[in-house]
A and B are shown apart, each in its own frame.
Chain A
Amino acid sequence: MKKLTYYFFLALVPTMSCKEKYLPALNLPATSFLVVEGYINSGSGATNITLSRTIKLTDTTTILYETKATVRVEGKNNTSAIQLTEGTPGRYTIAQLTLNPNDQYRLRIKTSNGKEYVSDFSAVRSTPTIDSISWVRENAGVQIYANTHDPLAKTRYYQYVYDETWEFHSKYSQSLKLTYGPNGQIKAVGYKDSSTFNYDSTVFKCWKTANITAIAIATSEQLSLDVISLKKIQFIENGSWKLSQLYSMSVKQRALSKDAYRFLEQLKKNTEQIGSIFDAQPSENNGNIKCVSNPNEIAIGFVEVTEEKEKRLWISKSSLPNWVWNTGCDIEIKVPNHPDSLMVFMPPSSYQLTNVAETNPSGTVITYVFGAASTCVDCRLLGVNKKPAFWP
């Protein structure tokens, strides 16, 4: 209901309703509550806990890390706690934990100001593997789904964390470059590779990785079997450059407790599914971290024991016939090979040379060159040209 009406009313924007940016002047209190994010990894791999502080809405800092805290994982039966070490500031980690599946564990945090926080004890939970990450080309784009099941029907609540990486190519290859005089003035046009005259592949092929910021959770609590079928995790709209060459998505699935699911569900309602006429009012949603030193102090976050199972999806352009994407690079300009013309028509701040347009009849002198906006030529401006390790 909520989601749909949300779209409906947003969609009416061009006709009558209107949504505009609005920042009321609010006199807000300083909060600075501890925020704990991460999970105690019962599977193979590191346990990473991030500590930060709530900030003012108007603050420009993205994330205010809480450093120099002591973070321990402790068991209910086994009191010998395992301490995590602070790697980069605010990130606390341990490479591998060995947990007793019959015990319960929690996090104990002592901050540098001497306050102590604990999470609720959590049973050790394992996560079923992902059955598949599937996708369907629809009218408006490509919908990606996650599918899984737990034959023991013990999981029921799932979270998906995923990132996407895609290969993309510059619209125009580049074989030319400018050379500059001693005072930084344009001197001449030259080949980047004067031996082969080939284009420069290092600025032609790049990769881009993006973390998806939306909370994705699913539950089978309404179903007779513990099955997650066609859980929507990402929609790529027609015209997106993500699917221009090769696209990959890594999906990590975590089993959740019901309470953790409710926490994330409310967090999603409070922060993502808001703004339609039938939305629930946002409400307080703090999680399972308690401040031991001061029970009235608020702490945010939900930490429990779980593990991640990963699956990777690949979509190549060959499986998407007629995928048209818009690069914004339709214009390649042709300029006489003269420093003054180049300066005027292809200012180096936003334009780059691409290839030879015309030469003299003998082919020895370049008379005209092509050029285009820098982002259409040098892919490093939009991504990185280092191929990721997992890329084929």
Chain B
Amino acid sequence: MKMTSFIRLNTQLFYLVFFVCIALNASAQKDTSASLITGEFKKMSIEKFLLQLEEQTAYRFYYNTLDFDSSVVDIIVIQQPIHQVLKLALANTGLVFAEDHAHQFFICKTIAVKTALAANLFDDALLKQTATKVALDTAETFNKEQIATLENKLYVIGNKPKGTLAPGRVTIAGYLRDAKTGEPIIGASIIVETTKAGVISDQYGYYSLNLSRGRTAISIQSLGIRDTRRQLMVYGEGLMNIDLQAQVVALRNVVVSSEKPSPIRGMMMGVQKLDIKAIKQVPVVFGEVDVLRVVMTMPGVKSIGEASTGLNVRGGASDQNLILFNDATVFNPSHFFGMFSAFNPEVVKDVQLYKSMIPAKYGGRLSSVLEINSREGNKKEITGAAGIGLLTSRINVEGPINKDKTSFIFGARTTYANWLLKLLPNEYKNSQAGFYDFNLNISHEINKKNHLYFTGYLSKDRFNLNNDTTYSYGNQNVSVKWKHVFNNKWYAIVAGGFDKYHYDISSTKNPVNAYKMQFDINQTYFKAHANYYASAKQTIDFGFSTIYYKLHPGKYSPNADASLVTPKEVQAEQALESALYIGDKFAFTPDFSVEGAVRYALYSFLGPSTVNNYAAGVPKTENNMLGTTVYGSGDRIQNYGGPELRISARYVLGDNFSVKAGYNIQRQFIHVLSNTAAIAPTDIWKLSDVNIKPQVGDQLSLGLYHNFKNNTIETSVEVYYKNIKDYLDYKSGANLVLNHHIETDVVSTKGKAYGVELLLKKSTGKFNGWLSYTFSRTLLQMNDSTQGNLINKGALYPANYDKPHDATFVGNYRVSHRFSLALNMTYSTGRPITLPIGSFYYAGAERTLYSDRNMYRIPDYFRADIAMNIDGNHKVNQKFHNSFSIGVYNLTGRKNAYSVYYVSENGKVNGYKLSIFGTAIPYINYNVRF
């Protein structure tokens, strides 16, 4: 047991001893005085010697390693009492020891610690008061909050009973926070060392842990914080907040812990979590730290190319991901033609991707849920950061509004990418492209039981090319969340908000045709979630959510007085999507646990609407339209829905190995209609209606997890098989914009996806990183002739994003605390494309002939990037902290194909390969924290 600071010990000594005394009765049952020590302690450091003693005996030692110099212990003892052993060992070292009644030894230089207390320290009244309090119920003791900051201090929870401690289990709860900034630590695992039972802190840093009364120790681990433990004396229920040290300031060696349990012990499978620190190390194009690009390096996640931030998770389309930014749905997560993601890295705390076992509280998308959690503002002081890159500048400011109660964080980012456009030929010199985004998060602690969170997000992209047509699009999100803790076992969250994505295209050059075209999708949601820690073995959660959609599929209107454009508007769509769910996590044994949840999703397409009717059993075409039916406002025109199962089980074999399996069903009621390979800002969303069915998918997955080398190396193998029903693909020559009968231009396809994902990850040490490999296929099929012409004659065909092989290496080598090197390498099979099968002469030129879809592939993709991250000095108390990142994207300059295509030029067909980044791109980024 090492003490990080002896000075701190002195200031806390009183409390320490106080708690030790209280603990005395409880632990005195275990007789330690009789232990005799036998052993050979040859030429070992004093610290190591003491640690060995701790292992052999119940004695605990408190010391400061600085006192030990280079003294060594060199003794052999047989059946010796502890005092004798210590005397022998510490002879000639100048060290002395003292023992208290709890058999704790304090080893100091020269002067021994006094372990006895002044006689009048506790009077009877105090003791009586303590005794009576024990009888009080949980709710009252709950108000007694304490913050556990130190590893070596014994924290007492609940009130000490008068007599002997009754056995049994109690629940303790509290928040994990960053000691420096007060921000919550999310997703940390809190493990009871003796039983290995553990929980994970939630998105507010909240945890609730069920454990046995008595003395115990818990260990806490999370990304970005130093592994640590707390010693507890648990008498009853209570609240304990735990302040943790961020790992970044750890100039001292990190103690390698005995537990690294997350992938082995955790229930979740198919979950990838990355914190912003890891994200920032990965080299990216132009040095723009990009959350989504790094997510793409994880197994099972792909994208169609460099100009798209659309994620394809386990063979899902890019609209099948629910992208949540603090509960707010972001419909288009990209900036600047899809080259950058729309999240300001200075505000993001971490991201978590669920690709297999999606928690029951989430639904509405087939493939995945990507949670992007932003930081809470610093609760102690005003701080900020600013960064300058080649394309964007960003700033964020955070701080308390009301110290320790309310904090805010504000981030803003803007681009000056116009210089890129200035390099264009004359013809385009009037072009402009720009974007900005703003984030504002406020968290407020009303009291210990009530927390309020506000998130606001605004993004906008705008570009016009030579003043002809202007495109703009943006996201707007507002959410408010209230968390109420009833007691250590119960808490509830209520959230509501509004999300909007819109785009518009306008042109004013020719007044006769001047137009404006607008699209928007809006959703207003409300959700309530409750969590009940029934026991250490069981956690139950349940809740409901409801979303009201209002979608304007397209409005086309004149944009000048002289314009002859006929206003045209595709009727608005509205729908209500609700879900009710209950889930239960149950541990049959510490090694075997099962999580099951049922979610019932119900969707109603609502009036007012004029619905096109089609003859049954024939393709939906304009010719087969039988007329329309008009529905009034609020009519439930079409209902869809059904139960969704989410089941997973985990079995741990030994300390380092576990097996997990899961099955889940998802339904998706909103679709993106697109016949482009990339997410285009002009893609439109469509609600399921009478003629367009929701998509349904189910997934069966199995995972094996094994840790090596003291859990510093994590490995996993996950396999999955997925069925997709009613995924929309487009008909040849589909017109998706301003179409009053969009169902005539799309078809429902069946799909299947399967794959194997391997991950090897080392997250600690000087050298850290991961290596992932994915084999996966995604195949679609349209063999229903009642829908129209078969696609590829009804055979299975690969989806646009079907890339069977995909391997990624992300590595970071910390040369010193101020200098690190990062290397990123990725290889994948080329994506499928449709290439011509022949050519013919028509309309004055040779033209290409197309037939089956996606029968060819572009060349394979390979890229290596390198980056150096240089930090300024680590002095804590300076005004500015500087850092640089310098790197090269696409180090080998390989001209990776984004697409291969044939185009008729001057009457001849020419084949081309288009690379988005056809050369090595160096970059530099400067950041300053204040």
> Which of B420-440 touch A at CB < 8 Å?
420-421, 423-428, 431
Q: How far is the CA of A282 from the CA of B838 in the complex (A)?
A: 13
Comparing A49-57, A240-248, A320-328, A364-372, the segment that makes contact with chain B is A49-57
Contact of A17 among B510, B512, B838, B916 (CB under 8 A): B916
Complex contact B420–A12 (CB within 8 A):
yes
Q: Encode B599-614 as 1/0 by CB contact (under 8 A) with A.
A: 0000000000000000
Complex contact A12–B424 (CB within 8 A):
yes
Is A16 an interface residue, CB under 8 A from the partner? yes
Complex contact A213–B732 (CB within 8 A):
no
Is B911 an interface residue, CB under 8 A from the partner? yes
Comparing A23-31, A117-125, A305-313, the segment that makes contact with chain B is A23-31
> Which of A234-288 touch B at CB < 8 Å?
262, 264-267, 270-272, 274-275, 277-285
Q: How far is the CB of B411 from chain A (nearest CB, A)?
A: 27
Complex contact A29–B337 (CB within 8 A):
no
**CB nearest to B844 among chain A residues:** A213
**Which A residues lie within 8 Å of B838 (CB)?**
28-29, 31, 33, 54-57
Is B676 an interface residue, CB under 8 A from the partner? yes
Complex contact A53–B840 (CB within 8 A):
yes
**Which B residues lie within 8 Å of A59 (CB)?**
839
Contact of A37 among B425, B735, B842, B916 (CB under 8 A): B842
Comparing B4-12, B463-471, B648-656, B697-705, the segment that makes contact with chain A is B463-471
**Which A residues lie within 8 Å of B421 (CB)?**
8
**Which A residues lie within 8 Å of B426 (CB)?**
139-140
Q: How far is the CA of A20 from the CA of B842 in the complex (A)?
A: 25
Contact of B675 among A12, A22, A56, A280 (CB under 8 A): A280
Is A225 an interface residue, CB under 8 A from the partner? yes
Complex contact A278–B912 (CB within 8 A):
no
**Which A residues lie within 8 Å of B897 (CB)?**
22
Is B846 an interface residue, CB under 8 A from the partner? yes
> Which of B320-378 touch A at CB < 8 Å?
337-338
Q: Binding site of A, secondary structure by majority: helix, strand, loop or mixed? A: loop
Comparing B400-408, B715-723, B849-857, the segment that makes contact with chain A is B849-857
**CB nearest to B677 among chain A residues:** A281
**Which A residues lie within 8 Å of B856 (CB)?**
24, 26
Contact of B680 among A1, A9, A139, A271 (CB under 8 A): A1
**Which A residues lie within 8 Å of B735 (CB)?**
262
Is A230 an interface residue, CB under 8 A from the partner? yes
Q: How far is the CA of A26 from the CA of B897 in the complex (A)?
A: 17
Is A179 an interface residue, CB under 8 A from the partner? no
Complex contact B676–A52 (CB within 8 A):
no
Q: How far is the CB of A332 from chain B (nearest CB, A)?
A: 30
Q: How far is the CB of A213 from chain B (nearest CB, A)?
A: 4
Is B833 an interface residue, CB under 8 A from the partner? yes
Complex contact A266–B566 (CB within 8 A):
no
Complex contact A63–B850 (CB within 8 A):
no
**Which B residues lie within 8 Å of A4 (CB)?**
465, 468-469, 471
Is A301 an interface residue, CB under 8 A from the partner? yes
Contact of B471 among A1, A139, A230, A271 (CB under 8 A): A1
Complex contact A278–B676 (CB within 8 A):
yes
Complex contact B902–A274 (CB within 8 A):
yes
Q: How far is the CA of A32 from the CA of B344 in the complex (A)?
A: 55
Complex contact A277–B898 (CB within 8 A):
yes
Q: How far is the CA of A300 from the CA of B838 in the complex (A)?
A: 12
Complex contact B906–A213 (CB within 8 A):
yes
Q: How far is the CB of A289 from chain B (nearest CB, A)?
A: 12
**Which B residues lie within 8 Å of A266 (CB)?**
732-733
Is B909 an interface residue, CB under 8 A from the partner? yes
**Which B residues lie within 8 Å of A227 (CB)?**
512, 564
Q: How far is the CB of B736 from chain A (nearest CB, A)?
A: 9
**Which A residues lie within 8 Å of B513 (CB)?**
223, 229-230
How many chain A residues sit at the interface, stated as a range, is: 35 or more
Is B766 an interface residue, CB under 8 A from the partner? no
How many chain B residues sit at the interface, stated as a range, is: 35 or more
Q: How far is the CA of A15 from the CA of B851 in the complex (A)?
A: 35
**CB nearest to A22 among chain B residues:** B913
Q: How far is the CB of B789 from chain A (nearest CB, A)?
A: 8
Q: How far is the CB of B111 from chain A (nearest CB, A)?
A: 69
Q: How far is the CB of A106 from chain B (nearest CB, A)?
A: 18
Q: How far is the CA of A33 from the CA of B849 in the complex (A)?
A: 10
**Which B residues lie within 8 Å of A214 (CB)?**
845
Q: How far is the CA of A139 from the CA of B467 in the complex (A)?
A: 13
**Which B residues lie within 8 Å of A26 (CB)?**
835, 856
Instruction: Output the residue of B305, B850, B916 with the most chain A CB within 10 A.
Output: B850
Is A181 an interface residue, CB under 8 A from the partner? no
> Which of B551-593 touch A at CB < 8 Å?
556, 564-566, 568
Q: How far is the CA of A283 from the CA of B833 in the complex (A)?
A: 11
**CB nearest to B731 among chain A residues:** A283
Complex contact B431–A8 (CB within 8 A):
yes
Is B38 an interface residue, CB under 8 A from the partner? no
**Which B residues lie within 8 Å of A8 (CB)?**
337, 421, 424, 428, 431, 465
Complex contact B902–A17 (CB within 8 A):
no
Given A1-B682, A55-B840, A213-B904, is A271 in contact with B847 using a C-beta cutoff of 8 Å? yes
Is B515 an interface residue, CB under 8 A from the partner? yes
**CB nearest to A264 among chain B residues:** B843
Q: How far is the CA of A135 from the CA of B859 in the complex (A)?
A: 44
Complex contact B921–A285 (CB within 8 A):
no
Contact of A57 among B833, B848, B915 (CB under 8 A): B848
> Which of B126-174 touch A at CB < 8 Å?
none
Is A7 an interface residue, CB under 8 A from the partner? yes
Contact of A35 among B841, B851, B915 (CB under 8 A): B841
Q: Encode B876-920 as 1/0 by CB contact (under 8 A) with A.
A: 000000000000000000010111111110110111111111110
**CB nearest to A263 among chain B residues:** B733
Instruction: Output the residue of A62, A211, A275 with the most chain B CB within 10 A.
Output: A275
Is B307 an interface residue, CB under 8 A from the partner? yes
Contact of A7 among B465, B895, B902 (CB under 8 A): B465
Complex contact A15–B840 (CB within 8 A):
no
Contact of B900 among A16, A22, A211 (CB under 8 A): A22
Is A381 an interface residue, CB under 8 A from the partner? no
Q: How far is the CB of B905 from chain A (nearest CB, A)?
A: 8
Is A14 an interface residue, CB under 8 A from the partner? yes
Is B834 an interface residue, CB under 8 A from the partner? yes
Complex contact B420–A15 (CB within 8 A):
yes
Given A8-B465, A18-B895, is A271 in contact with B903 using a C-beta cutoff of 8 Å? yes
Complex contact B850–A213 (CB within 8 A):
no
Contact of B510 among A11, A222, A230, A277 (CB under 8 A): A230
Q: How far is the CA of A140 from the CA of B427 in the complex (A)?
A: 6
Is A5 an interface residue, CB under 8 A from the partner? yes
Is B34 an interface residue, CB under 8 A from the partner? no
Is B800 an interface residue, CB under 8 A from the partner? yes
**Which A residues lie within 8 Å of B859 (CB)?**
24
**Which A residues lie within 8 Å of B910 (CB)?**
21
Complex contact B682–A62 (CB within 8 A):
no
Q: How far is the CA of A266 from the CA of B902 in the complex (A)?
A: 15
Complex contact B836–A57 (CB within 8 A):
yes
Complex contact B895–A224 (CB within 8 A):
no
Is A212 an interface residue, CB under 8 A from the partner? yes
Knowing that A5-B465, A262-B733 touch, tell me 9 more A-B residue pairs with CB under 8 angstroms: A14-B423, A19-B913, A35-B842, A62-B841, A222-B565, A225-B564, A275-B903, A277-B337, A278-B682
Contacts A/B (CB < 8 Å), 17 sampled: A4-B471, A17-B916, A17-B917, A24-B859, A24-B900, A31-B849, A57-B839, A57-B909, A62-B846, A230-B510, A267-B847, A271-B847, A272-B904, A278-B337, A282-B836, A284-B850, A301-B842
- A: which residues have CB within 8 A of B? 1, 4-5, 7-9, 11-12, 14-24, 26, 28-29, 31, 33, 35, 37, 52-57, 59, 62-63, 139-140, 161, 211-215, 220, 222-225, 227, 229-230, 262, 264-267, 270-272, 274-275, 277-285, 298, 300-301
- B: which residues have CB within 8 A of A? 305, 307-308, 337-338, 420-421, 423-428, 431, 465, 468-469, 471, 505, 510, 512-513, 515, 556, 564-566, 568, 675-678, 680, 682, 732-733, 735, 800, 833-851, 853, 856, 859, 895, 897-904, 906-907, 909-919, 921
